[in-house]
């Protein structure tokens, strides 16, 4: 504890915050930070890689979504399931998969920086209301409100 800098002034905690932090095992009964040692199992695991992402010109399509239903991260890619399709982001490129309401076809909208392109998808995802997603290697499974879709990820 001596080398750690607290970001919270313990003397300014409300009674509710103090009770909650005590229940969570963060505070002792004497209102000091509880010492914690990570279990030995963590010594064998490699640290999780972290990447700084700076993409000032990327249009954040997820910003306009009314609702995000589910998020999944695989490696450097995050999958965003919403009521307006499925989006993926790898730190530089957004790919949004959308179904045409009047047919089985759809499109993938690819946004890299200020460059936007569309790729026709035949067939497309089952519906734009995406509930969940799972991806492994080049295969993707998408759960929608109208059924499950399986496909290959775009490179």
> Does 59 score more than 60 pLDDT?
no
Return d(Cα 147, Cα 130) in angstroms, integer. Answer: 10
pLDDT of residue 98: 93
Return d(Cα 119, Cα 145) in angstroms, integer. Answer: 23
List pLDDT tens digits, range 121-143: 888 999 999 999 998 888 889 99
pTM confidence score: 0.56
pLDDT of residue 1: 42
What are the structural domain ranges in the chain?
10-36, 61-152
Measured from the Cβ of residue 103, the count of other Cβ atoms closer than 10 Å reads 10
What is the residue whose two structure tokens read 């959308």? 98
* DSSP code, position 104: S
Return d(Cα 5, Cα 132) in angstroms, integer. Answer: 39
pLDDT of residue 126: 93
What is the residue whose two structure tokens read 């399986």? 150
pLDDT of residue 118: 93
> Does 71 score more than 50 pLDDT?
yes
Sequential DSSP letters for 28-89 = -TTSSBPP----THHHHSPPPP------TT---GGGG-S-EEEEEEETTEEEEEETTEEEEE
List pLDDT tens digits, range 12-43: 888 888 888 888 888 888 888 887 776 676 67
Percent of the chain having pLDDT more than 70? Answer: 77
Better-scored residue on pLDDT, 97 or 6: 97
Query: Does residue 95 contact residue 108 with C-beta atoms inside 8 Å?
Result: yes
> Does 56 score more than 70 pLDDT?
no
Return d(Cα 142, Cα 79) in angstroms, integer. Answer: 10
pLDDT band at 65 (very low <50, low <70, confident <90, very high): very low
């Amino acid at each position: 504890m001596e080398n750690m800098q607290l970001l919270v002034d313990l003397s300014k905690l409300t009674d509710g915050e103090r009770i909650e932090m005590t229940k969570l095992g963060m505070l002792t009964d004497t209102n000091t930070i509880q010492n914690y040692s990570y279990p030995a199992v963590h010594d064998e695991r490699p640290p999780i890689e972290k990447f700084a992402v700076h993409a000032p010109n990327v249009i954040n399509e997820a910003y306009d979504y009314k609702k995000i239903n589910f998020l999944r991260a695989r490696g450097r890619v995050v999958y965003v399931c919403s009521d307006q399709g499925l989006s993926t982001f790898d730190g530089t490129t957004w790919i949004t998969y959308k179904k045409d309401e009047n047919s089985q076809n759809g499109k993938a909208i690819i946004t890299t920086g200020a460059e936007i392109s569309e790729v026709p998808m035949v067939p497309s995802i089952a519906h734009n209301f995406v509930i969940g997603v799972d991806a492994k290697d080049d295969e993707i499974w998408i759960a929608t409100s109208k059924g499950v879709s399986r496909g290959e990820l775009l490179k």
